[in-house]
Structure 1
Amino acid sequence: MSYNKNYGGQFMGLRQGTANKDSQNKNNESTFNKIKLNELKSTNKKENIIATKVILSLSELRGINLPEVENGEVYFFCTAIFDNQDVKSSMEKSSYNSPLVKGQYLSNSYALDFESEVVLKIPEDAVFVRCYVSYVSSVESDGKRNIKLEGIGYTDPFVVQECRVYPYSRCKLTAAAGGQDLGGTLKICVKCVDNTHPSAAIEPEPCNIIEEFKKRYEN
């Protein structure tokens, strides 16, 4: 079996980090309006204790309105993104990504359970984090395996400057500008903790999602 070399497909990311300051400021104003909503949802906040790590506890992904993939499979994963970091650069850091989980096509949409955690050190001066959901599809056609990576959408931001817990809630996924709205919700709990918390943040290593995914079919 041979591979189609056109692995990339379309990928719709968040705003690029190279955007001018005016557009970034407008984006931040909109973002901070959303942040205020999430601040109201947080519990167990420890006043004035600076957070150094964030724990993203990923649970259920539901209602992704992709057509059912025939002669192939679809795997989903989440990527942590701080502030206005570029999606691609975040995705290229191994520890910023959750494991890939195979989606199940149920009731005209895809669903799955991640049941995993992403534990990261909070970058200096970072204000918020959000989760970006993507998928990798693998379809066999004419003796070739076509692999495609595409983005779906991101959650609202969660402020990470002080220790607090955002309890499990279902976050609606928002498509990036110009991207197809596939709907869907991600059930997630976000914990902002200090260094006394036992969860260990793994140092990121270079990562290529497509190359890692291809290894599943090499044996």
Structure 2
Amino acid sequence: MSYNKTYGGQFMGIGAVAKKNNNTPTVAKREFNKVEKSAESKKADKVVISIVGVRGINIPEITNGQIYFLCTAIFDNDDVKMSMEKSNHNTSLVLGEYIVSSYHVTFDEEIVLNIPEGNNFIRCYVSCIYVTESDGTRNMKLEGIGYTDAYVIKDCKAYVYSSCKLIKAVGAPDTEGSIKMSVKCVDEKHPSIVKEERPFNALEELKKKIMV
């Protein structure tokens, strides 16, 4: 089995992609649909990302293999590689289904994380792993697809479920798609459980999954 790992080009991060027009962050201007916020501003301690699925990823259909997808939560002070190497920042690897002209995948999973000191935003990054067969050899290739706008996570609030168009990562394939998800920023008393953080390697995890 051979491996080809790439993170789909450079992930620009919160500051680089958010600052436009006189260096005003776009997140400050964005009005999220139906943001539910407590009457009094209260500092958030945890963030709960509920991911329904990804739709309309217009990657050409793979006829000699399969494509698995995963989502990764990324704070503004982290990068893609750092976050993808932490188990509790990632969803499971789920096989994509090709329907008509694009890939669709259902996750129905939650990512629950403590909010590190000094972090103000979070995004969800979508990537995929191609598994193909050629001349009796199985090849695995990890590529980034895109990421969501930034969600402000400083105070307790809830961004209700909505479909978010993915922003193409710099250097990634020219793809489109959307992710349906919600984000809740909660205090330490919220019953959501943060899973133990372990070292994580998406390619190795998939290798174990498909070899079973």
In 2, are the aligned partners of 1:76 and 1:100 still within 8 Å (CA)? yes
Measured after TM superposition, the shift of residue 141 of structure 1 is 1.1
Cα 1:26–1:182, aligned 2, differ >3 Å: closer, same or farther? closer
Identify the match of residue 191 of structure 1 among 184, 190, 196: 184
1:178 aligns with 2:171: yes
Q: Name the CA distance, whole Å, in 2 between partners of 1:46 and 1:52.
A: 17
**SS in structure 2 of the partner of residue 43 of structure 1:** strand
Instruction: Please give the residue correspondences for 1:154-169 in structure 2 after superposition, counting only pairs within 5 Å.
Output: 154-169=147-162
- Going from structure 1 to structure 2, the CA distance change for 1:46 and 1:211 (only over 3 Å counts) comes to farther
Distance 1:217 1:39 in 2: 38
Matching residue of 1:119: 112
State the alpha-carbon separation in 1 of the partners of residues 16 and 144 from structure 2.
23
How well do the aligned residues superpose, as a CA RMSD in angstroms?
A: 1.9
Cα distance in 1 for partners of 2:74, 2:52 equals 18
CA contact 1:94–1:207 (8 Å) conserved in 2: yes
| Percent pairwise identity | 46
SS at match of 1:7: strand
Partner of 1:21: none
Which stretches in structure 2 are left out of the alignment for 5+ residues? none
> Aligned ranges for residues 54-69 of structure 1 at < 5 Å?
54-69=47-62
For 2:34 and 2:171, how far apart are their aligned partners in 1?
29
Match of 2:12 in 1: 15
Instruction: Give the structure 1 partner of residue 74 of structure 2.
Output: 81
Query: Residues 73 and 137 of structure 1 are in contact (CA less than 8 Å); yes or no, is this contact kept in structure 2?
Result: yes
Conservation of the 8 A alpha-carbon contact between 2:77 and 2:119? no
Structure 1, unmatched stretches of 5+, are 17-23
Q: Deviations over 1:4-34 (max 9, x none)?
A: 2x33156224127xxxxxxx86545348323
Summarize the Cα distance change of 1:218–1:26 in structure 2 as closer, same or farther, 3 Å threshold: closer
Query: Deviation string for 1:49-88 (max 9, x for gaps)?
Result: 1100000000121100101111211111100001142101
Task: In structure 2, give the amino acid aligned to 1:45.
Answer: S
Would you tell me which structure has more helix in proportion to its own residues? 1
Is the 1:7–1:210 contact (alpha carbons within 8 Å) kept by the matching residues of 2? no
- Any idea what SS the aligned residue of 1:51 has? coil
For the residues of structure 2 that align with 1:104 and 1:115, how far apart are their CA atoms? 15
Pair 1:56–1:26, CA change in 2 (3 A): closer
- What is the CA-CA distance between 1:41 and the residue it aligns to? 4.2
TM-score normalised according to structure 2 size: 0.91
Amino acid of the structure 2 residue aligned with 1:68? E
State the TM-score, normalizing by the size of structure 1.
0.88
Select the residue among 43, 48, 60 that pairs with 2:36.
43
Contact 1:13 1:88 in 2 (8 A): no
**In 2, distance between residues paired with 1:38 and 1:52?**
22
TM superposition shift of 1:211: 1.1
Distance 1:189 1:10, change over 3 A: closer
